[in-house]
Structure 1
Amino acid sequence: MHNDIKKALEVLKSGGIILYPTDTIWGIGCDATNAEAVKRVYEIKQREDSKSMLVLMENPNRISSYVDDVPEIALDLLEVTNKPTTIIYSGAKNLANNLINSDGSIGIRITDENFTQQLIQRFRKPIVSTSANISGEPSPANFDEIDEEIKEAVDYIVEYRQDDLSENKASSIIKLGLGGEIDILRS
């Protein structure tokens, strides 16, 4: 795993794209602050850039560096959830403009998966995480289900957990309103 982290870091720092395992499904990722890298991810997925993507962080204490106001309820939700949960926050900042939704929001998930935690901790910035599929196609449950077109388009494929055939699922998604409203978009 150490060698994978080292190679993935080199690719992320150079503005490249990685294919990597997350706490949910395999993801396509890049530096969440690099607009050119984000643009490439949209191109690989053949996805309209009006459909925003989420970012992964390793620690909830870092959310305030990328969101104007972190509602107290968000931290409470992160403490009580027992499965990977993406929270959509208003007032995104310090991220690539083409990553932020047109309403100024951004989806952030705090990963508890060992590889992604170490990678993000060493990278010191959030990374994009979007399912490793062409837009509109089913999300792959494991590495073997990832389309060859995706594998050929990225700059580095992480070797760690390629042999894990667990049927993983996407995260829950919760949107927090400015007034503290909670909207469950995917459970």
Structure 2
Amino acid sequence: MAQFIKLYNENPNPKEIKKVIDVLRNGGLVIYPTDTVYGLGCDITNTKALQRIAKIKGIKLEKANFSFICNDLSHISDYIRQIDTATYKILKKALPGPYTFILPGNNNLPKVFKKRKTVGIRVPNNTIARTIVQELGNPIVSTSIYDEDDIVEYTTDPELILEKWDNLVDIVIDGGYGDNVASTIIDLSGYEPEIIREGKGDIDVIF
């Protein structure tokens, strides 16, 4: 059964954050709030945990389009190739915020992602998510949690999330009601920015 941990975005309790970090370091899976929908994540360096997420999602790990939750822009630079000034300006303007940016990956990517040319990067405007990443010391690999209900595409109520995911994950964080609009995905890996999905983030940020 999953632990249910209440955290407040304004001032996440360090003691509770430590519990989350310990679980992540031991290969655990955590459901946590972002500035969009709730995410399912694990430590980027733990292959077994990555395989667990892929199995839950019913996909092959090598083909999974997971995004990396980072703490800030300097954290992003650990995993992407050097970017030009225009791209940097877009990232600086938009982050932290409800965007996923597709960027060219570098050789620091975990082994299972080595063959990928690009990687999706997020720096959510959510203190809980960013504090976890900061304390962990490396990104969380993340995927949104879907609800089968056609009307509510994403699950927003932490208690209902716990009911559904209790036997699949190790911790569910209650950070209040989540949103039901996913992030805007922008591909910055080519010559021109390309909108892949319009979501919560305003696309004017790239112009």
For this structure pair, what is the TM-score category when the shorter chain's length is used for normalisation? 0.7 to 0.9
Aligned to 2:195: 184
Structure 1 position 47 matched with structure 2 position 62: no
1:60 aligns with 2:49: no
1:158: which partner in 2? 173
For 1:165 and 1:22, the matched residues in 2 are separated by 10
The answer on whether the counterparts of 2:33 and 2:178 sit within 8 Å (CA) in structure 1 is no
Residue 99 (structure 1) shift = 4.3
Q: How many residues align?
A: 182
Equivalent in the alignment of 1:16 = 28
- Give the AA of the match of 1:42: A
Moved more, 147-156 or 102-111: 147-156
Identity %: 30
- Are 1:95 and 2:109 an aligned pair? yes
Instruction: List runs of 5+ in structure 2 lacking aligned partners.
Output: 1-12, 199-207
Matched, 1:33 2:50: no
TM score, norm. by length of structure 1: 0.84
* Counterpart pick for 1:118 among 131, 143, 153: 131
Larger radius of gyration: 2
Task: Give me the whole-angstrom Cα distance separating, in 2, the residues matched to 1:169 and 1:54.
Answer: 16
| Residues 22-80 of structure 1: CA deviation (Å, up to 9, x unaligned) | 12111111011222211111112223431320011011012121112233333211233
Q: Distance in 1 between matches of 2:159 and 2:85?
A: 40
> Is the 1:92–1:106 contact (alpha carbons within 8 Å) kept by the matching residues of 2?
no
Contact 1:26 1:142 in 2 (8 A): no
Any unmatched runs of 5+ in structure 1? none
Q: In 2, Cα distance between the equivalents of 1:144 and 1:71?
A: 43
1:147: Cα distance to partner?
7.3
Contact 1:30–1:37 (8 Å) recurs in 2 = yes
> TM-score w.r.t. structure 2 length?
0.76
Q: Secondary structure at the match of 1:153?
A: coil
Structure 1 distance, partners of 2:170, 2:38, is: 15
- Residue 185 of structure 1 aligns to a residue whose secondary structure is strand
> How far apart, CA to CA, are the structure 1 residues paired with 2:92 and 2:34?
19
- Over aligned residue pairs, what C-alpha RMSD do you find? 2.5
Task: Say yes or no: does 1:131 pair with 2:158.
Answer: no
Farther off after superposition, 118-127 or 82-91: 82-91
Q: CA deviation at 1:149?
A: 4.4
In 1, the alpha carbon distance for the partners of 2:148 and 2:43 equals: 20
- Contact 1:47/1:134 (8 A) holds in 2: no
Residues 105, 7 of structure 1: CA spacing in aligned structure 2 closer, same or farther, 3 A cutoff?
A: same
Report if aligned partners of 2:32, 2:172 keep a CA contact under 8 Å in 1.
yes
SS in 1 for 2:77: helix
In the alignment, the residues of structure 2 paired with residue 94 and residue 30 of structure 1 have an alpha-carbon distance, to the nearest angstrom, of: 17
